Structures are given as C-alpha cells and as structure tokens.
Structure 1
Amino acid sequence: MGIRTAEQYRKGLADDRTIVYRGRRVTDVEQEPDIRSATDRCALCFSLSTDRPDLAVKNGYSAFYHLPRSREDLVARSALLREISRRGAGAIVLKEVGSDALFALLRACEGEGLERARAFHRRCLDEDLALAVAQTDAKGNRALPPSRQADPDLYLRVIDSDADSITVRGAKAQTTYSPNADEILVLPTRAMGPDDADYAVAFAIPPATPGLTLYVSPYSAGQRNAFEFPLSSKHRMLESLTVFNDVRIPRERVFLERNPTTAGPLTLAFVDFHRHTAINYKLPFLDLMLGAAHLVAEANGISRAGHVRDKVSRMVSWAETVRGLTELSDIRAKPDDRGVWRPDPLVVNLAKYTFAHGYPEAAAVLVDLAGGLLVTGPGAEDWADPEIRPVLEKYYAGAVPGERRLRIAHLVADLTVRDFGGYQMSLNSHAEGSLEAEKLQMIRSFDPGPAIRYAEELAGLADDTPLSRAPSHPMEEQ
C-alpha cells in the first residue's frame, strides 16, 4: 500500500477495541464526538502526504518512518515535524511519537528482537500505520523499583511465556491517542536491575487485542464552539490508562523479553528521538504564543508601552533560544554504531529544558497583556444574537474593532486560562520528560573533561594531579 489516505486510515479504526470513556463502553470511535475529533486531528498525518509529498513522502512511503541515515535526513525530519505541528496548532498528532519508539527499537534491540523490530518497521512502511506509544507505567511508590512494589502490577510485567507467545499483566499510563491508533508500541519506562527481569518487555499490539482495555481520560470533554474555543474546539488530544489483563502477545511481535540490561538503553534510545520530536513540534507553539502576545497588545492599544515591549522581548528571547538550540541539535548530530543518525542529546535536552522552564512565565505574560477580558467576555450565544451583538461590538472595541478584540481574547483564554490552557501547563512541564529528567540527561551527555583540563592548564597544575584523571562524567560517579 505504501501511502494511505485519511479516509482509509479512518476505516481502519473500525474494530472491536475496548474503549471506556466517561463511564461507558464506546463501540464506534467515529460515533463518539470527542474521540472522533481526536481522529480528525490524527488524520492530518495522512492528508499531509497528499498536500506536501515533498515533506511527508520518502521513496514512496511515509517519511515519518524513514530512519535517519544522514544529517540531511534528520534535518528533513525536523521540517516534517514542524509542519505537522503547525497544522495541529502546535502539538503532536500521532505518527511522530510512534516513529520515535520504532527508531529506538531499531537502535537498541539485539538478536531476534532486532530482526522482529526490522520486520515491524517494514510493515509500518508497507501499511502506513499510525502508532501510539505506551511507555509510562503506573509506577506506584517511585522510591521503589518495579520488583519491590507492594502491588506487582504497578509496572507492566511478563507473567507467563511459551514457545509461541508471552502473556503480560499491568498497565501503562498516559498513552496518547491510543483509541486512534492502528497499533500500540509498548516500551519499558526505565533502567532495570536483575530482579526486575519480568518487567523488561517491549512489543507491538493491535488495540483490539482481547484483554486490552483503554480507559480514556475525560479532560476537556464535550463539544465547544469555535468563537469561545478557537483551539480546543478543533484540536483534541486523548490520553488513556492502557490496561493489560493477561494479554497474550505472539512472539513475532515481541522485541524485548526479560532482558533488564537492554531496558535502560532502549529507554534512552527513545528519549533521544522523542525529545527531538518535542522541541520541533514546540516551535509552531512558540510562534502561536508570540503571535498572540503581539495581537492582544495591539488590540488593547498597549503595544508601545515600555513594560509591554520588555515582556515581549523576554518572550522573543525564550522562543528564539529554543529555536536555535533545536536547529543546533541537528547540526551536532552523529551516527551511532548502526549508522542511525541521532540528534545531539545534550542540545536536545537543553532545548527541551529551556522551553519547559520558560513556559510558565510566557503564559503569565499573555494573561497579563490580555487583562480580565479573558474570563469576563461574552459567549457565543450572545455573539450570535442579532440584538445583543451590536452592543458587544460597541463596548468591547479597543484599539481595534470589537470583534477582532474579542476573538483575540478568546484565543488567549483558550491557550492559557481555560481547561485547554491547564492541559498545556501540565503537558509543557511533563510531556516527553520532566525538567529533572532533562537536567539528568544534560549531565549524562556533557563531557567536562576538556574544560577541566583547560582549567588545570591555566592553574599550572601537573598532568598527574587527581583532577586531570577525573572521569568524563563525575556526576555519574556519585
């Protein structure tokens, strides 16, 4: 098949997958409005192949699944990620994260697991699949490893195996777009020790597999009008608690089984690409925030005020720092021992950290520039009334006409103070890794050796002093 249309993708979701949403079983994803709106968004991956084949198609297949074999391939992937994010209002759609996980399998798996991963990659290309990724475990008491949890099911684990299959039990949390996917890729969430062998597992599974249940979060549930909710009325993300109740996985779909030494490297291989995806899909979101800041300042007639120019300049500094670091991560890219080019992990994590660290201040600036109108303005019903609307147009006029000012205010409100804004606050702090996880990766990736030796040289220290023999990553020794 090679390339599917958006309509073919939609038809492929018609099966007996078990979805629980707002306390009831969903039998048809196309008939449930909230889930259908997420499908609409995910379908952008497929319409992009028609609209922009120069970006989205590579050698007759989806460019999302093109394994980077050069720096140029990585730069092309970045451009693809940014364009699909721009169409999705500055967030992921579906194939991006799935391809991140697929590339991780191809980089970290060994032996039979690697051969199966390669075969699955071939299938993703041939059938143009949409992949969700289930990585984050429930985790329970985070001070304890998987094997020491009070409830052994708080991390997904292998409970049985035979010549043809393995059987797993447990759950994965926060699985994005699982109701809208053709396949779900399951990865370990952390490094593991010898006692955690049962939890070191990776595989692919269709959502309609018996024993698998998707409990979809109702956050931002309900249909919204485009006047008050210009973003969340069109762009919805779904997350699920993905529960495996003694689910049988055929061996040809198993990429990692009870091998704890590979769990950590596989997790980090996913992080390399997933955070690269994150910083690229954030760039259109940064443009959205900067554009909204300029629009709302103009609408309120304060764009030339000194304090406003100062606040906007800080937003520009933040956004362009992230953009520059994102581009630098491609420039510094290097191949691994299998010839797969990966973005520079230090710069990727620095870009992601810079974005997440600066986001709360940028959101606060938007709220400050907009004023109380974010929560006191009129709704769509009043705006649609022919007798009320002239009153609103008259009294809500600012430096621009009333309609323009209100639509800008609703954009900022949707982005910051309504439930979509709350989702963004959590998403931008924790998705693709927390601030602490990014700092840890920066320490792991930074080699202080040259800086230490330079400082020793200028201090007049001999080559055989203890510092000159310091480990490349001293923080890792602690």
Structure 2
Amino acid sequence: MIRTGQQYKESLSPDRQIWIDGERVKDVTAHPQFAPIVGIRARIHDLAHEAATQDVMSYADPATGERHSVACKPPLTQRDWHDKRAAVDTVLDEARGVVTRVGDETVGEMWSLLDGQRVLDELDPRFSANIRRHVARSVTDDLFHVSADTDPKGDRSKRPQDQDPDLLLRVVRETDSGIVVRGAKYETAAAYANQAFVKPAVADWGGTELSEYAAGFIVDMNTRGLKFLCRTGFAGRGKAEDYPLSHRVDEIDTLVVFDDVEIPWEDVLFHRHTEAAALLRTTLHRYSALPFTHRTLRLADLMIGAALWNVRQTGLERRPAVREKLAQLACYRESVNAHLTAAIAMGTTSPGGLFMPDQSLLHTGRVLACSQLPQMTHLARELCGGQICVTPDSASFADPEAGRWLEKFYSIDENWVADDRRKLLAFARDLLNSDYAGHRLTFQLFAQGPPFAQLAAVYHAFDWSGPLDLVRDAAGLSDRVRGPERD
C-alpha cells in the first residue's frame, strides 16, 4: 500500500552509519542538511493520499483495488508515460525546484533488466525470477528506490586486479545465504533511501568472462556493513532568503562503502557474468532517460522564467537582441519537450512486454538537453544581467539604515518594489550562479551518464539502414556493396 511520509521517515534506521562534515549523523530525518530533501521525499508519499493530488500520484490496482505509486508502475501503454510525466510535474511543483533522485527515475533501470530475462535465464533461472519479484515489490511496497553504479575507479589504465582490487565493487566470496561484496559506490540520496539497485559501472571488469566485478543486486540500505560518507550539503550555507534552492532542493551525494556486506541470493540479479553486465550497460537508461531528461525540461522552464522576469522588471523585453536570446531559450526548451513527446508517441513494445519509448528519439533528446545545457545556462545569465552577482544579501535589505538606501535603489515602481526584486535576483543567482548552480550543472555528468555513454546509446539506437539505403539508391550502387556491420 502507499505509505505516508511519516512511515517513510520511520523506515530509515537510526543505526545507519552516516557521516557528513566530519560528524556522525544521529537522525538523518532531522539533520539540517538532510531534513529539507527528506521532507520533500516524505511529501511525495503524502501527495498520494491527499484528495487534490491522489489521482495524479497513485492509481488503483484493477485486481486488488489497492492504490500504488504511479512512479513505480511498469509502463504498459502510452497513457502510463503521460501519467508519469504528470506525476513528475506535480512533485517538481511541490518542490519549487528540480529534484532528480527521488525514485521514479531509477526504478526504470530494473525494468531494463526485466527486458533481459532471456539472458538471465541462460545464466541462472533464479536471477530472472529475482528481477520479476523485485519489480513487483517496488510497486506494492512503495519503497524509495535509488541506483548505484559509479565506483571510485582508481587508475583506469590498469585492470582492477592490478591495483587495490576494492576500488571497483566486487564479490569476495559466496555463502549458502548469498554473496559477500566489498568496495564502494557513489549514489545520490543513498543515505535516506530504502533500497538501491547496485550494478557494474562502465569500466574494465577484469578481463575474464566470470568476473567478480560483474554483479548486480538489490541492497536494503539498512543492511549492516554499509557506511555512508556524504559530501557537504548546501543547506545551511548562508540564509534561505538568499539561497532558496540550495536550502530547499539540494540532494546529498554519498560514497556508499560496502564493508563485506552479505547480499541474500534472492536479491542477486546477476553474478560473475560479464555478458549480463554488458547487456545492462547498453540498456540501462532505456526507460530512466525519460524522467531524467524531463528534469532538464523543468530546468529550462526555470531559466526562462527567471530570465523573462528579469528583463521585464528592467523594461528590456521589447529589445530585439533580448527577444532573440529568449527565443533561443524557448527553442531549447521546446526541442527537449518535442523529443520526450515524440519518444512516447513512437514507442514500441519491449522484449519484456513493457511500453518502451522510441530509443533513438529518447537518447538524442537526452544528448541535446545535456550538451546544450551549459550554453543555455550562460544565456540565461546574460539575460539576468550582472545584478545577480552583486546584489547584497537579505540582512542588508532588512537593516534599518542600509535597507533605506537599498529600498531607494532597488525599487522601480509600485509593481516592482525592492523586496520583490531582491527575491527574484536571489532566486536567479541560486539557479544560475551559485555553488549549488555549478554543482547541478556538473551533476549532469554523473546522473545522466558521461557524454561518451550518452552518444554510445544514440549510436546503438539509431536506425542507420535508412540513410544507407537512401544513398545506395540515389548513387545507383549495386546490391554487392557492403560494409562492416555494427557491433
């Protein structure tokens, strides 16, 4: 059944070994750097209970009548994807910013493995049964599910065995109960999630078919032996009035250490088979690329809104040069939206029976969204102007003496008074120009995968036969002409 926000908070064991800023965290739900994002994740559960949003965030199972999360529902139709996009928009509206790792974007990675059941059956029939059970459990148990695949890596010119072998997570032994793993993985939101899908990264798995590094499994984040080493959060730096996004929607990234953690056999999805690992790496974002790219669409909307309000309050909206820049932002936004919409419209049935967005349109849309994001961010900075980096903080505006002068120089007319201008400039600064803004821009290389992996997905998804046949016919080439096939 759908959990409440309080039930989600109670599911986070106080015994977790979590560190941030050099201190052990006693209560992740109350710690000042975690509390805002934990609160947003709790709100996602509560939104499924509230009358105004229940039907957007949840659905009634036709067989049992029980309500389940729209986010975790395996997609069977186009309608399911439209429902998922509506649920994401509801969450982002509630957050008043962009939150990425809240579950809906990572549960799709398990659906990709569901499509690979044939390969899993060839390795061990238990593995395909395990993935089916975990996909079903993600629906019925309303768990906050995240994903872990990036290792510390070490020296990438060497095999894992030729350096500290634990730099890539590996299986160190098997027991009657399961496998024992050692190493570490980076994962956003791990410290306050319920479970994670752990899998190999894009890396050398040791050069052997039966590699100890080629393992995928589900891990309960309350499991003994896990240690959570978190980066410093942005909440608490400065005041919320000056950095509204940093204090509201910062998601904490974590190095999760597996200190000889035992994974029960029923939670192992594949083990010691590089074929399964390679299959997963090529299909990993088959579904999850859509909600990830959807977040970039929302980020584009925030940039357009911040830029447009800024040029309006200074009376520059009618200038042709300003309109050209706004039009460029609009083209970017609509191009991302067009790819998402078309990917759903042109979707097909996957090998596992799910409704799969058109892969070529989806992955090219993701490349477009990510590759142009730095340029669009700077364009929005230009439109907002230099005031986002020179405006004094809220305390100065509130000071009786300094505030009198700031009121004079920041008020334009009865529609744009100093306080509203300060709020707009503070929001734009945090969105485009703060430490948090820089972090979010770089975060795309982690959350969405590196550019080479994104382009590799495009290469494997694009239908090259159409252009080849077109040129064969236009150039009058004979049917004898052949080239090396793609791998």
Normalised TM-score (structure 2): 0.91
How far has the Cα of 1:149 moved from its partner?
4.6
State the Cα distance separating 1:381 from its structure 2 match: 1.4
Equivalent residue number for residue 385 of structure 1: 399
In the alignment, which residue of structure 1 is the partner of 2:64?
none
Write out aligned runs for 1:53-64 (5 A). Answer: 53-58=54-59, 59=61, 60-64=67-71
Deviates more, 1:428-437 or 1:112-121: 428-437
Q: Does the CA contact (< 8 Å) of 2:28 and 2:35 recur in 1?
A: yes
Report deviation, 1:131.
1.3
The answer on 1:178 being equivalent to 2:190 is yes
* Superposed counterparts of 1:345-424, under 5 Å: 345-398=359-412, 400-424=416-440
2:323 alignment partner, SS class: helix
Moved more, 49-58 or 19-28: 49-58
The 2-side partners of 1:267 and 1:84 are apart by 29
Q: Name the structure 2 match of 1:10.
A: 9
Deviates more, 1:73-82 or 1:271-280: 73-82
In the alignment, which residue of structure 2 is the partner of 1:463?
A: 479
Does the aligned pair in 2 maintain the 1:211–1:247 contact within 8 Å? yes
**1:196–1:318 distance in 2 versus 1, CA, 3 Å:** farther
Q: Is the 8 A contact 1:55 1:63 kept in 2?
A: yes
What residue is the counterpart of 2:177 in the other structure? Answer: 164
For residues 74 and 139 of structure 2, what CA distance do their matches in structure 1 show? 11
Shift of 1:196: 6.0
Counterpart code for 2:85: S
CA distance in 1, matches of 2:268, 2:128: 10
Letter of the 2:422 counterpart = L
Determine the structure 2 residue equivalent to 1:327.
341
Q: How does 1:106-145 map to 2 (within 5 A)?
A: 106-109=114-117, 110=120, 111-144=125-158
8 Å Cα contact 1:56-1:64 kept in structure 2:
yes
Give yes or no for contact 2:74–2:354 (8 Å, CA) kept in 1: yes
Q: List per-residue Cα deviations over 1:360-384 (Å, max 9, x = no partner).
A: 1221122222222212212121222
Q: Which residue of 1 aligns with 2:455?
A: 439
Greater shift, 434-443 or 186-195, is seen at 186-195
Give the distance between the partners of 1:314 and 1:78, measured in 2 at CA: 24
* C-alpha distance after superposition, 1:403-424 (max 9, x if no partner): 2222111111001111111112
**CA–CA distance in 2 between the matches of 1:47 and 1:205?**
25
- Are 2:233 and 2:250, in contact at CA under 8 Å, matched by a contact in 1? no
Percent identity between the aligned chains?
26
SS of residue matched to 2:315 = coil
Aligned counterpart in structure 1 of residue 84 of structure 2, from 77, 83, 99: 77
Q: CA deviation at 1:270?
A: 2.4
* 1:454 lines up with 2:470 in the alignment: yes
On the 8 A contact 1:297/1:303 being kept in 2, the answer is: yes
1:438 maps to amino acid = Q
Indicate how the Cα distance of structure 1 residues 434 and 466 shifts in structure 2: closer, same or farther if over 3 A, else same: same
Deviation at 1:195, TM superposition (A): 4.8
**Distance in 2, Cα, partners of 1:406 & 1:142:** 47
| Aligned match of 1:32 | 31
Q: Deviations over 1:133-181 (max 9, x none)?
A: 1111222233445x455221111100000221110011102x0111111
Any unmatched runs of 5+ in structure 2?
62-66
Deviation by residue 1:177-197 (Cα, 9 ceiling, x = unmatched) = 111111222122237553561
CA contact (8 A) 2:173 2:179 kept: yes
Q: The residue matched to 1:273 in structure 2 has which SS?
A: coil
2:269 is matched with which residue? 255
Q: Which of residues 249, 252, 259 in structure 2 aligns to 1:235? A: 249
* Structure 1 stretches lacking a partner, 5+ long: none
Amino acid of the residue matched to residue 176 of structure 1? T
Counterpart CA distance in 2 for 1:229 and 1:91 is: 16
CA–CA separation in structure 2 for the residues paired with 1:267 and 1:87: 33
Tell me which amino acid in the other structure corresponds to 1:295.
Answer: W
Q: 1:253 to 1:347 in 2, by over 3 A?
A: same
Which residue, out of 90, 99, 105, partners 2:113?
Answer: 105
Partners of 2:464 and 2:274 in 1: CA distance: 29
Pairing 1:281-320 to 2, within 5 Å after superposition:
281-320=295-334
The aligned amino acid for 1:367 is R
Relative distance call for 1:338 and 1:122 in structure 2 (3 A) is closer
Q: Classify the secondary structure of the residue corresponding to 1:168.
A: strand
Q: Pick closer, same or farther for the CA change 1:75–1:30 going to 2, 3 Å.
A: closer
How far apart, in 2, do the equivalents of 1:185 and 1:297 lie?
Answer: 45
Give the Cα separation in 2 of the matches to 1:242 and 1:308: 46
Name the residue aligned to 1:86. Answer: 93
C-alpha change, 1:216 and 1:454, in structure 2 (3 Å) is same
SS in 1 for 2:263: strand
* Cα deviation code 1:111-143 (max 9, x no counterpart): 211212222233333321111211112222334
Contact 2:235 2:246 in 1 (8 A): no
The 3 A distance-change label for structure 1 pair 461 and 124 is: closer
Size of the alignment, in residue pairs? 468
Partner of residue 286, structure 2: 272
Distance 1:326 1:461 in 2: 37
Q: Does 1:67 align with 2:67?
A: no
Cα deviation, 1:48-85, whole Å, max 9, x if unaligned, reads: 21242222212211111111122222232233233323
Distance 2:13 2:259 in 1: 22
Distance (Å, rounded) in 2 between the aligned partners of 1:149 and 1:61? 47
Q: Could you say what the CA RMSD is over the residues aligned between the two structures, in angstroms?
A: 2.0
Q: Secondary structure at the match of 2:19?
A: strand
* Farther off after superposition, 180-189 or 413-422: 180-189
Instruction: Give the letter aligned to residue 182 of structure 2.
Output: R
Deviation for aligned residue 1:93:
4.5
Question: Could you tell me the TM-score, scaled by structure 1's length?
Answer: 0.92
Render the CA deviation track for 1:414-453: whole Å, top value 9, x for unaligned: 0111111111221234421122221121111112112111
For residue 84 of structure 2, what is the amino acid of its counterpart? R
